Chains A and B, each alone.
Chain A
Amino acid sequence: MSSSLAARRRDAVRSEPMARYERMIEIRVFEDRVKELFAEGLVRGTTHTAQGQEAVALGVASVLEPTDHVVCTYRGHHHALALGLTPETVMAEIMGRRGGSMNGLGGSMHLSDPTVGLLPTMAIVGAGIPIAAGAALTAQVQETGAVAVGLFGDGAANIGAFHEGLNLAAVWRLPVIFVCENNLYGEYTPIAVSTSVTDIASRAASYDMPGVVVDGQDLDTVMGELETAVARARAGEGPTLLEMKTYRYSGHSRADEATYRPQGELEEWQQRDPIDIYGSRLTAANILEQGRGPKLLEQYRERIDEIAKMIVNAPAPEPAEMFRNVYA
C-alpha cells in the first residue's frame, strides 16, 4: 500500500512543478520537526537533517525514471521523501516504530524502498559510491537503459571508495551520475581543512569524466545539469561528476550546534534559500499565487505535527522482527 503511494508521490514530482515546491516544503518542516523531536528525547541514537539541501533531492527525484537507481547516505531523509517515501513511514522509521519503512529496524540512517529505486541509505562515508557504480553495471550488462545516481557529501571525496568508484565507472563507461552534495563541512570540519581542492568537481579530470560545479540551491539549475548527465549516461557516454554547492542549515548531527561556523555564514546562505528561489520562479510563471508559500508552510507544519504525534504513540516492532530478513 505504502509502496504504490510512494510511487505516486514520486510520479508527482517528476511531472508537476508545484509538487516539487510542496515537497521541498514538506522536507523542510519534516527535518525541523525531527530536530525538535530529538531535542525532546523522542528520537534515539543519531539523526542527520538536511534543511537547506532540498533542491538537490528534488532535482534527483524529478529527473530520474522510476526504473533508475539511487544510492545515498545517512543524511538521506530529504532524498527518501523526495523520491516518494511518505513522511509517515520515514518518521516511524526514525522513531523505531512499527510501520517504518524498515519496520523500525533501520533508523534514521537506513531508509530504503525498492519500488522507487532507493537502495538502503549508507551510513559509511563513501560506501555508496562503488555500489552506485555497480547498479549502473547491471544496467550496462543487461542493457536496461537505466542509470544510477550515487549521492555523497563533500567529506566522501577524500575516502578511497570515491576514487575507486569513479575510476571503475570511467574505465567501464558506466551509466552513473555521481552527485556530491557539498555542504562545506565534513562532520565538524570545514572543507578547506580536509580537502586539497576548492571544487570537488575538479577531481573528475583525474578520471577523464566531465565534472560540473552546480548551484545546488536552484532546483531548475540542478535539474538541468542532471538531465544533461543522465542523457550522457543513457547514451553510453559514461559517468559524470556533479558537485552541488549547498549548505546544511543544521549541524552535522543531533548533538552538533555548528558553533564552528563563521558568524553570518548561515544567514548569507539563507538569502539563497532553495524553497524561496523556486517559489519566486513559480510565482513569476503564474504557477504559485503570491503569498501562498507561507500558508503552505503552515499547512505542512500542522500535518507533520499530526504525523509526529501519531507516531510517538505507535507500537514498537515485535521482537520476532529482528530475526527476519537476515538472510534472503
Chain B
Amino acid sequence: MAKLRTRQAISNAIRDEMVRDPRVVLLGEDVGDAAGVFKTSEGLLEEFGPSRVRDTPISEMGFLGAAVGAAATGLRPIVEIMFVEFLGVALDQLITEAAKLHYLSGGGYKVPLVIRASSGAGLGFGAQHSQTFENWMFGAPGLKLAVVSGPQTAYGLLRAAVADDNPVVLLEPRILYAEREEVETGDNAVIPLGTARRLAEGDDLTIVALGSMVKVAMAAAKVADWRADVIDLQTLIPWDSQTVLDSVRMTGRLVTVEEGPATGGWGAVVAARVATDAFAELKDPVTRITCPDVPVPFAEDLERRFLPGPDYVISQVSELLETGRSPQPWWEREGLA
C-alpha cells in the first residue's frame, strides 16, 4: 500500500500492464514527453520508449481509428483522450467501428482497446470541457464502460480494462486526479468490470453513485441522520443490477446521485430496472439527484451549484424520507426551470 493520487494510480496501472504485456502501447496527445496534461503517464516514455508511448497529432479520429486497427491486428492500445468532449470528433471509430468489429467479423477479430478520457465539471473549464457523457456510450452494445471514483478504482478498473479483450472506455473525473488515498496495487487490486462496490451499509435507503458523485454521496452519508447503503456502480456497461437490486430489496428506497443532465442520465436506466424488478419492495418513489439540463456554467458559484454536493444530497434524501414523495430538484423548487 502506498498513498497515491488518482493520476499516479493511473500511471502505475498503465506501467504494470505495459510490463505484464509487451503488446500494450499508449497513444495520445502529449502523453510522452509531457506525461499527459493531467500527468497520468509519468515516467512511461522513459521506461518504455517512443515506440510504445506515442505522442499523437491533435487528431482523435486518426489516432483512435489507428488504435482500432492496431487492436484488431495484435496490439493492446491504451488511448488517452485528453477531454472526453474530444471523443465527439472520433465517436464513429468508437461506437460504429470498435464496438462492432468483433460482431461484424463473426468473432474473427477482437478489439482489445482502452479509451481513457478525463470527464466532468468542477475545475472551471467551461461548457466545452466539463461534460461527462456516459450517455453518449451507454447504449452502445459491444463497448464496455467504467467510471473512476478515486485512486483505488482508477488503478483497479484500468488494470481490468487493459486485460479485457473488448473496447473499454474508462472515464476519469478530472476533479479527482489530485485526490489521494492509500492504494493497493498488484493483481489482487484488479476490479472486475461489471461489478459494483458497496461502500457503506445502512437500512434507510440505497444510494447508487458513479464517478465524482461517489465521494459526494459518501460525504453526505457520513453526516446525515439517515443510514444508507452506498453503492459505487463502477461500471456502466455492463452494470451490476444484482448488487443494486439486492440492496434496494433490503432498504426499500433508491436514490441515484449523478453528475450530468437529468435527461438521458444513467440513473434513469437504473431507476427503470429497479421499478420493474423490485416495485413491490419499494416504500417510496425512486429519486434521482442530478444536474440541471443546462450546459456547465463557468462562474465558480454557479458551477458549484450545478453539481450535486453533500448538503444537497442530504436535504433531498431527508425530504424523501420525511414526506414519502420524490423532492423537486432545486431549480424547479426555485422556479428557475
Contact = CB atoms under 8 A, between A and B. Distances in A.
Interface of A: 69, 71, 101-103, 105-106, 110, 112-114, 119-120, 122, 124, 127, 129-142, 144, 148, 160-161, 164-165, 167-168, 171-172, 324-328
A161 B102 contact: no
Contact of A328 (B52, B57, B107, B141): B107
Nearest to A130: B65
Contacts of A168: 56-57, 59, 62-63, 66
Given A137-B75, A168-B62, 10 more contacts: A102-B104, A112-B105, A114-B108, A124-B92, A127-B96, A130-B69, A133-B69, A134-B71, A168-B56, A328-B110
A122 B103 CA distance: 13
A129 B106 CA distance: 22
Nearest to B96: A124
Interface of B: 23, 25, 51-52, 54, 56-57, 59, 61-75, 77, 89, 92-93, 96-97, 100-112, 141-142, 144, 165-166
A325 B165 contact: no
A65 B333 CA distance: 68
A299 B75 CA distance: 44
A138 B57 contact: no
B62 A326 contact: no
Contact of B102 (A113, A136, A327): A327
B62 A325 contact: no
13 contacts: A69-B73, A110-B104, A112-B106, A120-B101, A127-B96, A134-B72, A137-B75, A138-B75, A141-B51, A144-B74, A164-B57, A164-B62, A168-B59
B70 A137 contact: yes
Contacts of A131: 65-66, 68-69, 72, 93, 97
A133 B97 CA distance: 14
A326 B141 contact: yes
A307 B159 CA distance: 49
Contacts of A324: 107
B109 A327 contact: no
Contacts of A148: 69, 73
Contacts of A164: 57, 59, 61-63, 65
A101 B104 CA distance: 10
Contacts of A102: 104-106
Contacts of B165: 327-328
B66 A137 contact: yes
Given A133-B65, A161-B65, A327-B166, A127 B92 contact: yes
Contacts, number: 150
A99 to B, nearest CB: 11
Nearest to A328: B165
B115 to A, nearest CB: 13
Contact of B75 (A110, A114, A141, A326): A141
Contact of B62 (A119, A139, A165): A165
B254 to A, nearest CB: 28
Contact of A165 (B23, B54, B66, B89): B66
A162 B311 CA distance: 50
Give the 10 A-B residue pairs with the shortest CB-CB distance, closest first.
A134-B69, A130-B65, A164-B62, A134-B66, A131-B69, A328-B165, A134-B70, A120-B104, A325-B107, A112-B105
Contacts of A328: 102, 107, 110-112, 165-166
A34 to B, nearest CB: 19
A112 B75 contact: no
B69 A137 contact: yes
Contacts of B62: 130, 133, 161, 164-165, 167-168
Max chain A C-beta neighbours (<10 A), residue from B51, B92, B106, B109? B106
Nearest to A134: B69
B63 to A, nearest CB: 6
Contact of A135 (B54, B72, B97): B72
A131 B105 CA distance: 15
A122 B97 contact: yes
Nearest to B69: A134
Contact of A120 (B89, B93, B105): B105
A119 B59 contact: no
A124 B102 CA distance: 16
A127 B93 contact: yes
B328 to A, nearest CB: 40
Contacts of A120: 100-101, 104-105, 109
Contacts of B74: 138, 142, 144
A145 B111 CA distance: 21
A209 B278 CA distance: 62
Contacts of A112: 104-106, 108-109
A136 B165 CA distance: 20
Contacts of A144: 74
